[in-house]
Structure formats: structure tokens, C-alpha cells
């Protein structure tokens, strides 16, 4: 028997990656209207945070806030009411590096700021401070399958709880020597606002089922490299469908041999 799909409407998208500072830029590149030019990721100042928290915000916190706020603004949604799912393959690489450096010295005292930024749910905590959100929040990690795990969790909440859910998937690079073991080139991520019913802002309806097909690849070699080296960007084949307003199916990497088939119907 074919499994019942998990379905939702995509009402908003946030995006940030090397050479693509936001979703409109990514749309132009994914549609082939603009050539992709590699450049370091540029993280916006998180002005939604109070000054003290703004000074302490790490790269992943700035990234996650930028992604979530762009998707919510795209959908004209009240961020304080949205359930959230945060998913990352390894959280804050720079903070992890700094902790390891400190622990390798004779003085192993860790600063409180370093410590509280080291936990995997740090970005979710800063999101709550910034938005005042009191809605349910999940924080996940599934290594290279983190985007797929987050997508399934968010869709389950949309289907079961019948409430709008904001998925924020993000990754950060590690400095050397950790970079040699985990060669993520830069920070990047995507946010999708998923809703149980269609609205005037809906981009497409998606339905997700298990698959054993090979994951879809991107024709542009540099974009394909981003897809394979930054786990959150396993989402790129789906984002290309959304950018082009194309229907059809794409297969996304998950936990091989299990993959995720996404059927997309544009609005």
C-alpha cells in the first residue's frame, strides 16, 4: 500500500547562502535569470534582539533569525503565534572551535556566554527572545539528513495539529582543524512556512512520501556543490520548483536508502 502523504501549503520562504543573501536573489538564480556568483554568506544584524543579546548572538543565531523572519514576512504571518521546528546538522561551528581551544589550555574555565551558545537549541532560545513566541518549538539534529527530518516533523505538526508551522533549517562552517573532518564551506539555510490550508499568499502545495529513488541533482555545478556540502541545502531541488512555479516531483536526500519524494503543485 502507498503511504498517506504528509501535505501542506508553502506560504513563505526565507533563504540565505553563499552568493545568495535572500529568497528573491535565490529565485532569480534558480530560475536561470541571473548567473550564480560565489561569495561569502552575509549575515544581517539581528536588530529584533535586545542590545545585550544582539552582542552575544553567534553566526547560527543571526542566520536562523534572518531565515525565519524573511519567511514570516513573505507570508505576512505573526511570528509570535507560529509553531517552529529548528533543524541543524551541527549547530555553531565557531563556538565549538572556541570551546575546544579554551579546553586545550591550562585555564579550562568557559565563559557563560560561550556555554549557553554551545547548546543545540541556542537559536531557538534567541528566536523566543526576539519574537516573544510561546508556541510549540522542536529542535532537531540528524546530521546530513537534518533538513529531511525537520521537514517531516514540521509537516506532522501541520497535519496533526492543523496549525501553521515554521521550519528553519541551517548549518554553519567549522574553522580548522575541525573543518577537515566536517568540510561545510560556509553558513547557509532555508525557512519554509507551512500551513494546513491555502491562502492568497500560498506558493504551492507539497505532499511528501518515502522513496528509494536517487536524490534530484542541480544542473549548475556550483549550486550542486552547495547542495551536497551544506546539509540544509539538500532542499535546493524543491526550492527550484518553488522559484520556477513548476509542478511535478523531486526526490530529496534523507537517510539512504530512504529518501523523500516531494510532489509539488504550484498555486
In three-state secondary structure terms, 20 is strand
Averaged pLDDT for residues 36-61: 93
Average the pLDDT over 74-88 and give the result: 96
Considering only residues 115 and 235, tell me which one the structure prediction assigns the higher pLDDT: 235
Quote the pLDDT of residue 115: 83
User: CB of 233 within 8 A of CB of 18?
Assistant: no
Longest dimension (CA), the chain: 61
Question: What does the block give as the cell for 114?
Answer: 560561550
- Quick one: pLDDT at residue 1? 64
Confidence (pLDDT) at 76: 96
Q: In the predicted model, what is the mean pLDDT of residues 73-93?
A: 94
Question: Cα–Cα distance between 161 and 158 in angstroms, integer?
Answer: 6
- Find the mean pLDDT for residues 187-212: 97
pLDDT surpasses 80 at 2: no
Query: Band of the pLDDT at 119, cuts 50, 70, 90?
Result: confident
Q: What does the pLDDT look like over 140-174, one tens digit per residue?
A: 999 999 999 999 999 999 999 999 999 999 999 99
Across the range 228-245, mean pLDDT stands at: 98
CA distance 191 to 255: 21
Average pLDDT rounded to a whole number, residues 205-215: 97
**How does pLDDT run across 91-104, given as a tens digit for each residue?**
788 888 889 899 99
Q: List the beta bridge partners of residue 83.
A: 165
DSSP calls for 95-139: HHHHHHHHHTSS--PPPHHHHHHHSTTHHHHHHHHHH---S-EEE
State the cell numbers at 204: 504551492
Rounded to an integer, the average pLDDT of 216-220 is 97
pLDDT reading at 223 higher than 70: yes
86 and 64 in contact (C-beta within 8 Å)? yes
Instruction: Name residue 255's beta-bridge partners.
Output: 258
Span 257-265, mean pLDDT? Answer: 97
133 pLDDT more than 70: yes
* pLDDT-based confidence at residue 238 (cuts at 50, 70, 90): very high
* pLDDT in the model for residue 111: 84
pLDDT at 49: 94
DSSP label of 185: -
Describe the crossing of helices 122-131 and 59-75 by its angle, rounded to 10 degrees.
50
Say what percent of the chain tops pLDDT 70: 100
Give tens-digit pLDDT for 30-46.
999 999 999 999 999 99
Confidence class for position 196, pLDDT limits 50, 70, 90: very high
Amino acid at each position: 500500500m502507498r503511504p498517506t502523504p504528509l501535505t501542506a501549503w508553502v506560504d513563505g520562504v526565507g533563504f540565505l547562502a553563499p552568493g545568495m543573501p535572500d529568497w528573491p536573489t535565490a529565485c532569480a538564480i534558480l530560475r536561470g535569470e541571473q548567473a550564480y556568483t560565489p561569495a561569502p554568506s552575509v549575515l544581517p544584524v539581528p536588530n529584533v534582539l535586545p542590545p545585550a543579546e544582539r552582542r552575544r548572538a553567534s553566526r547560527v543565531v543571526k542566520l536562523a533569525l534572518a531565515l525565519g523572519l524573511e519567511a514570516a514576512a513573505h507570508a505576512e504571518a505573526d511570528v509570535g503565534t507560529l509553531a517552529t521546528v529548528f533543524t541543524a546538522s551541527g549547530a555553531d561551528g565557531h563556538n565549538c572551535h572556541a570551546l575546544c581551544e579554551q579546553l586545550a589550555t591550562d585555564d579550562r574555565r568557559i565563559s557563560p556566554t560561550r556555554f549557553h551558545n554551545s547548546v543545540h537549541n541556542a537559536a531557538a532560545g534567541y528566536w523566543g527572545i526576539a519574537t516573544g513566541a510561546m508556541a510549540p518549538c522542536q529542535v532537531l539534529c540528524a546530521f546530513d539528513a537534518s533538513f529531511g527530518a525537520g521537514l517531516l516533523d514540521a509537516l506532522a505538526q501541520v497535519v496533526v495539529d492543523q496549525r501553521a508551522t515554521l521550519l528553519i533549517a541551517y548549518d554553519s562552517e567549522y574553522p580548522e582543524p575541525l573543518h577537515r573532518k566536517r568540510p561545510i564551506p560556509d553558513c547557509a539555510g532555508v525557512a519554509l512556512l507551512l500551513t494546513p490550508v491555502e491562502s492568497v499568499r500560498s506558493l504551492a502545495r507539497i505532499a511528501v512520501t518515502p522513496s528509494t529513488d536517487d536524490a534530484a541533482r542541480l544542473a549548475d555545478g556550483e549550486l550542486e556543490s552547495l547542495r551536497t556540502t551544506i546539509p540544509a541545502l539538500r532542499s535546493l531541488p524543491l526550492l527550484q520548483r518553488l522559484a520556477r512555479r513548476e509542478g511535478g516531483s523531486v526526490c530529496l536526500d534523507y537517510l539512504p536508502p530512504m529518501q523523500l519524494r516531494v510532489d509539488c503543485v504550484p498555486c
